[in-house]
Chain A
Amino acid sequence: MKARHQRIALMVGGLAVLGIIIALVLNALTSNIVFFFSPTDVVEGKAPQGRAFRIGGMVKEGSLQRGADGITVHFVVTDTEHDMPVTYKGILPDLFREGKGVVAQGKLGEDSLFVANEVLAKHDENYMPPEAAKAVDEAHARAARNRTAETLQQ
């Protein structure tokens, strides 16, 4: 074995061992690395108990209610399986919309109401002009109508 082959073997072996170590550490720390927990995670008890954490999901359609003081808002975060009611007092980001992604940081109250002190909007990786977005929305609406019509016919 030449010296240079030895050095290559040492490098490859060292990187492989290091990679495995890092993979194991990251795997063990997953619950600390995730930025937010979904409502399902909270129901399953994966979210931290008794301290602040972030909850993420979609703002449920039709769930947004503004309080009488104008800055308190109530909305429901959903991952389509489970829902979680959230209350927040403050200014919402511009991209905060019903049916869109949201991440809220705060504490879970005893009445299972999540009291948020910070709300961030999470947008998706799709970029398209407004006309295209409108066409996609209309196509979805048409598909939904067709499904309803089929259900009624049966």
Chain B
Amino acid sequence: MNEILFKFAAPQRFYPLAGRMIPFFAVLAVLFGAAGLWLGLAVAPIDAQQGEGYRIIFVHVPAAWMSMFIYLVMAFWAGIGLAFNTRLSGMMTTALAPTGALFAFLSLWTGALWGKPMWGAWWVWDARLTSSLILLFLYIGFIALQAAIDDPRRADKAGAVLLLVGVINVPIIYFSVQWWNTLHQTGSVSLTKSPTMAAVMFWGMLLMALAFWMYSIAMALMRARCIMLERERHTEWVKNLLGTTPHATRG
């Protein structure tokens, strides 16, 4: 098992594998997204209290889940990278960061659009919203820190330390609505009890979450492939792949 893992952790083997997986995940993202939007926007009934307005939940909650989950995955890769000095881990964190930042922003943005008509405020400084904003800043900070250091190895290390320190924020976001009084309601879905929403609403949300997963994987793999070529441009396998020998390269 370990041998297989380490075999595909080598960029020259991961590159073609990732290339074959991207279309698969992209197609699934479109299918799940279409089904989720159809269930959420057309099939699901209106909410007794919020009417049609609650439908933003089908983007808001999956985006918020993804923003937290991608951060956990990045922190996992950061830990692997620091412990084992693998080349792939730094590439994966760099590839995942923009998608995570996108979902963090999306969850804040849709939350504001939802908060104004329902709560009566675009933004409040309660624990859930504030810790979610910190998550967005962590993503932006990670991207900026990595971009500011020229040597990719050192950039990966600095970024990994930031990721690991920031991972404390994820359980704070998740449990903030239970630990403190917040304006944000507690979660409707958890692993331990049945969801407090109508079944068709729940399935719409789950399909959207799956669509976001597939989208994130496809985007991360695409970015990882670019990063691999860029970072390994001096190695034999990239030169063979691009059909350029050291003699034929100009500039």
List the interface of chain A (C-beta within 8 A of B): 4, 7-8, 11, 14-15, 18-19, 22, 26, 30, 33-38, 56, 92-96, 100, 103, 118-134
> Which of under 10, 10 to 19, 20 to 34, or 35 or more describes the interface residues of B?
35 or more
Which of A30, A100, A122 has the largest number of chain B CB atoms within 10 A?
A: A122
Are A122 and B198 neighbours in the complex by a CB distance under 8 Å? no
Q: Is the CB of B117 within 8 A of A127?
A: no
Q: Is the CB of A127 within 8 A of B183?
A: no
CB A82 to nearest CB in B, in angstroms, measures: 15
Find out whether the CB atom of A125 lies under 8 angstroms from the CB atom of B187. Answer: yes
Establish whether residues A125 and B185, one from each chain, have CB atoms under 8 Å apart when the complex forms: yes
Interface centre among A7, A35, A118 (most CB of B within 10 A): A35
A15, A103, A128: which contacts B197 (Cβ < 8 A)?
Answer: A128
A-contact 0/1 string along B155-194, CB 8 Å cutoff: 0000000001101100010000001111101111000000
The A/B interface has a contact count, at CB < 8 Å, of 111
Please list the residues of chain B having a beta carbon within 8 angstroms of any beta carbon in chain A: 45-50, 54, 57, 79, 82-85, 117-121, 124-127, 164-165, 167-168, 172, 179-183, 185-188, 196-198, 201
Set B46, B47, B54, B119: member contacting A121, Cβ < 8 A: B119
Secondary structure of the A side of the interface?
mixed
* Pairs across A and B, CB under 8 Å, 9 listed: A11-B82, A11-B83, A35-B126, A35-B180, A35-B181, A100-B49, A120-B124, A123-B50, A127-B54
Q: Known: A119-B120, A123-B49. Contact between A15 and B186, CB under 8 A?
A: no
In-complex Cβ contact of B164 among A15, A22, A93, A95 (8 A) = A15
- In the assembled complex, the Cα of A126 lies from the Cα of B141 at a distance in Å of 36
Question: How many angstroms between the C-alpha atoms of A103 and B167 in the bound complex?
Answer: 31
Return chain A residues, CB-CB under 8 Å to B84: 4
Give the distance in Å from the alpha carbon of A7 to the alpha carbon of B160 in the complex: 13
